[in-house]
């Protein structure tokens, strides 16, 4: 089992999200595809970056070969079953993350213990939205949320359904 995801005697945020300890900024708004396996084309990415840079000062993007967990940093708190709404034990969640990490997060499927339904780590209901992605657009210290119209425009520019993840460090 990877030591990256092993439970330690520190907070569950540090267990699950090692980069949550970094102090790069106080808040970052990440925009990720809802499908963790997809990424836009380079021209789509370029248009989306130009759109965001016309509205925010500190925008960048990253691409990854395999999905990565895009977490809420210090705002990470609870995880719920998307089927029945039961709160899931963080130890169970950490074990599922360990198993998925062994396969580079290419298989995110899980069977939730509360109701026995099949789901995925990406589709669990995190108290603060989080998810997995091979592509992220990140806005450091945005000062505001994306307006609904801006998110729709980004979805059109990228040709993807998107999720917003606020990370607080």
DSSP assignment of 28-39: EEEEEESSTT--
In tens, the pLDDT along 50-96 reads 999 999 999 999 999 999 999 999 989 899 999 999 999 999 999 99
Q: Report the 10 Å Cβ neighbour count for 58.
A: 13
Collapsing DSSP to helix, strand or coil, 80 comes out as strand
Q: Which residues contact 85 (CB under 8 A, 6 or more apart)?
A: 125
Q: Report the 10 Å Cβ neighbour count for 59.
A: 20
More confident residue, 39 or 20: 39
| CB-neighbour burial class of residue 8 (10 A; exposed 0-12, middle 13-18, buried 19+) | exposed
Q: Report the 10 Å Cβ neighbour count for 143.
A: 9
**pLDDT level of residue 26 (50, 70, 90 thresholds):** confident
Report, in angstroms and rounded to the nearest whole number, the Rg of the chain calculated over CA atoms.
Answer: 16
**Helix H or strand E segment including 139:** strand 131-140
**pLDDT level of residue 5 (50, 70, 90 thresholds):** very low
Show me where the domains of the chain are located.
12-16+27-168
Residue 28 has a pLDDT of 96
Phi, psi of 89 (to 5 degrees): -65, 135
User: Minimum mean pLDDT among 8-22, 52-66, 114-128: which range?
Assistant: 8-22
């Amino acid at each position: 089992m990877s030591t990256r995801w092993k439970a330690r005697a520190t907070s569950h945020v540090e267990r699950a999200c090692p980069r949550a300890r970094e102090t790069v900024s106080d808040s970052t708004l990440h925009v990720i595809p809802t499908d963790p396996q997809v990424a836009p084309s380079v021209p789509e990415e370029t248009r989306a970056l130009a759109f965001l840079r016309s509205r925010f000062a500190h925008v960048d993007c990253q691409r990854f070969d395999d999905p990565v967990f895009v977490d809420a940093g210090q705002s990470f708190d609870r995880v719920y079953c998307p089927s029945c709404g039961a709160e899931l034990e963080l130890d169970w969640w950490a074990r599922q993350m360990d198993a998925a990490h062994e396969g580079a997060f290419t298989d995110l499927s899980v069977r939730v213990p509360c109701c026995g339904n099949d789901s995925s780590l990406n589709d669990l209901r995190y108290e603060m939205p989080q998810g997995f992605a091979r592509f992220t657009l990140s806005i450091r210290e945005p000062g505001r949320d994306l307006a609904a119209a801006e998110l729709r425009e980004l979805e059109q520019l990228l040709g993807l359904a998107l999720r917003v993840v606020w990370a607080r460090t």
